[in-house]
Amino acid sequence: MILRKSNAGQQLQLQLFALILMHAACHNLISAKTVNPNSGGDLQQQQQQQPLQGLPEPRAYMPDSQNLDFVYHDHEELTRFLRATSARYPNLTALYSIGKSIQGRDLWVMVVSSSPYEHMIGKPDVKYVGNIHGNEPVGREMLLHLIQYFVTSYSSDQYVKWLLDNTRIHILPTMNPDGYAVSKEGTCDGGQGRYNARGFDLNRNFPDYFKQNNKRGQPETDAVKDWISKIQFVLSGSLHGGALVASYPYDNTPNSMFQTYSAAPSLTPDDDVLKHLSLVYARNHAKMSRGVACKSATPAFENGITNGAAWYPLTGGMQDYNYVWYGCMEITLEISCCKFPPAYELKKYWEDNQLSLIKFLAEAHRGVQGFVFDPAGMPIERASIKIKGRDVGFQTTKYGEFWRILLPGYYKAEVFAESFAPREVEFVIVEQHPTLLNVTLQPSKRIEGIGGGGGAMLPLGGVSPGGMYRPIPVPQHYRPQMPPYAAAASSDNGIFSTISNGLNSLYSNIFG
């Protein structure tokens, strides 16, 4: 049977192909090798030049004290600033709420991008989340200043303009406004304000890969889970306080008994990438990469980074949830030794973190990106993709897009979609530029003449004498294979689990 493209399908394919070409041409990205968009073939490994080459470093930023000074802002002041910024820069910002806290405060998200109100096809969505612990508000203020920096620098800073033209940046300044409301400025340690209004630690309230998390879901975490289920975030940073380090997944470990004292790292299949992302932040920070300990009794971190579980394991963390459930590379950024330092120190914290906050987001453009199409050129939504040897997968958007941050090397991608034959595609990542890889999947074949419907699918995973194949149904998300000892750890209970959880809570109150 010959497949013919509908006019609508052909038009959408041409539009998507044109957007790819425009996106690449704007930054001198296209190589000489292309294909006819009507051929149904792949656009194989178009190598793109590094778009940031030749751009000057982002400029230093001085706040407009009439709009945003270096002081702490309560929820009403934060809301007024976000609304005023959205009204003042309607072409660069969009403000929305993902839900409300226990006490009814909006969880505001500001999108900063040259296309703030709609997804830009072929361009990644990234995010920052601040103030998940209410008594750690330095990140909250840094994110407000990052918004101000972006909108005031877009027309004059080439780096910022490139970043906003090619990325949609979602910024949630505070995930725990209720906890912040009862926190006290100048309090460097302790737990007052750390939790939400019901006394829950929001960074222990997500589903966990290694251990069953029986803590009741909270409105704030439910809102974030719903948020990231709807937007295909490629990269994320969560801002905390109480230490000076970039911490990467996994945060938890199967060995849960007395887990506070476990010093063994718990490594993901993407350990090289997550270490790299952590180093990007630490090395662009004014102090973090030195690995200086905040206090004599606290640990120092080599190069300013650590595996989360090697520092201290925790159950129900947000960064592990982002990574395992949605393939989003999230790093936890501990940016202040004092949890709630005096306001006069905020300017220093901005100077320390400005370059890191920007350069980290640009890493979303490293690795491989592309589209998954059917033979008619229509995008395939929710196709599952896994890099061979890296068991945490990811999915395409409704436009068939995908992104994956990878370091230079040779890779194979396994692509699956319901009703399509699976496909394996080889590609190469180089240091200088991302790789553009488009994949066309073929429908799984049918045996004609079986049953009354004019054809029947083969049994699951079955191959007919003629070689026709039906793929096994694809799970919604790939997750790494559970270690054999993790199942036992997930059912830990009793006095040892209680003691371990108590020690973990004490440790996190001290160190972040």
Confidence bin at 58 (pLDDT 50/70/90): confident
The pLDDT > 70 percentage for the chain reads 74
* Residue of 165, 173, 181 whose CA lies nearest to 148: 173
Query: What would the mean pLDDT of 395-419 be, rounded to a whole number?
Result: 96
Instruction: State yes or no: is 414 an active-site residue.
Output: no
Query: What would the mean pLDDT of 91-109 be, rounded to a whole number?
Result: 98
Contact 463, 469 (CB under 8 A): yes
Strand 125-130, strand 233-240: pairing: parallel
- Which candidate in 334, 345, 363, 424 is catalytic? 334
Check if 1-69+366-480 and 81-365 are the same fold.
Answer: no
Q: What is the pLDDT of residue 289?
A: 96
The Cα 158–Cα 241 span in angstroms is 31
pLDDT by residue (tens digit) across 193-209?
999 999 999 999 999 99
The Cα 324–Cα 394 span in angstroms is 9
Measured in residues, the chain has a length of: 512
Confidence bin at 38 (pLDDT 50/70/90): very low
81-365 CATH pick, 3.30.565.10, 3.40.50.720, 3.40.630.10, 3.40.605.10? 3.40.630.10
pLDDT over 50 at 43, yes or no = no
Class level of CATH domain 1-69+366-480: mainly beta
pLDDT by residue (tens digit) across 429-457?
998 789 999 999 999 875 444 443 443 33
Q: Which residues contact 66 (CB under 8 A, 6 or more apart)?
A: none
Q: What is the pLDDT of residue 296?
A: 81
Q: What is the pLDDT of residue 297?
A: 78
pLDDT over 70 at 490, yes or no = no
Q: Check residue 472 and report its DSSP letter.
A: P
pLDDT over 70 at 78, yes or no = yes
Residue 158 phi/psi, 5° resolution? -65, -40
pLDDT over 60 at 63, yes or no = yes
Query: What would the mean pLDDT of 344-366 be, rounded to a whole number?
Result: 97
pLDDT by residue (tens digit) across 213-228?
999 999 999 999 999 9
* Residue of 402, 122, 13, 460 whose CA lies nearest to 3: 13
Weakest mean pLDDT among 8-12, 189-193, 235-239: 8-12
Q: Which residues contact 304 (CB under 8 A, 6 or more apart)?
A: 244, 245, 246, 278, 279, 282, 283, 285, 288, 289, 290, 291
Tokens of 412: 């194979």
Q: Which residues contact 126 (CB under 8 A, 6 or more apart)?
A: 167, 168, 169, 170, 233, 234, 235, 236, 361, 364
* Residue of 69, 78, 154, 82 whose CA lies nearest to 111: 82
Contact 331, 278 (CB under 8 A): yes
Q: What is the pLDDT of residue 466?
A: 38
Confidence bin at 510 (pLDDT 50/70/90): low
List, as one string, the DSSP characters of 344-367.
GGHHHHHHHHHHHHHHHHHGGGSS
Q: What is the pLDDT of residue 496?
A: 41
pLDDT by residue (tens digit) across 79-90?
999 999 999 999
Q: What is the pLDDT of residue 55?
A: 76
pLDDT over 90 at 121, yes or no = yes
Domain ranges of the chain: 1-69+366-480, 81-365
Contact 144, 354 (CB under 8 A): no
Mean pLDDT of the chain: 82
